[in-house]
Amino acid sequence: MSGRNTTSMVLAIVAGILLLIAGLSGAAAWETIKTFVSNNVVDNSAIQIVFAILIFIASFGGIVVILGGLLIWKNKVGIGKFLIALGAGLGLIGLIVSIIVAAVESDLTIGGFLTMGGIGIILSIVARVMAKKEEELSKKSKKKKK
């Protein structure tokens, strides 16, 4: 395993612990997406079942983020990144929506995002971005050697 993925795993585990302490999960973000899809795109039982499963997994929040980090460590990078996104409520999207809501409500302060949950979401984003499949890392190292 590369040092990059080891760092990604550690960040995901720390992020998951912070999300657990803060009591945050990605369930609300997925519920919002489900509502949007149901109201504006398609609403059928198959879609409802898929979202029910995603929301169930996401409701475990930090535990799912930690599991994603461990999967990255086991070189299951794609699944690991997916679980981190589920557990953190899509991370970046959730963070952007939170910033927009805070701005609209005139409550946009840096302190509001430097909570344990906010830092956990930021670390989960960094962990996802850093994680790379071994093939991708070896291609990059070969390009650097040329």
Q: What is the pLDDT along the chain (146 residues), one digit of tens a residue?
A: 678 899 999 999 999 999 888 877 777 777 877 888 888 888 788 888 988 888 888 788 889 999 999 999 999 999 999 999 888 876 666 667 667 766 777 766 666 666 787 888 889 989 999 998 876 666 666 666 65
- Only one residue has tokens 């499949």, namely 133
Q: Cα–Cα distance between 17 and 34 in angstroms, integer? A: 27
Give the residue extent of every domain in the chain: 3-132
Q: Cα–Cα distance between 40 and 47 in angstroms, integer? A: 13
The predicted model scores a pTM of: 0.72
Backbone angles phi, psi at 31, to 5 degrees: -65, -40
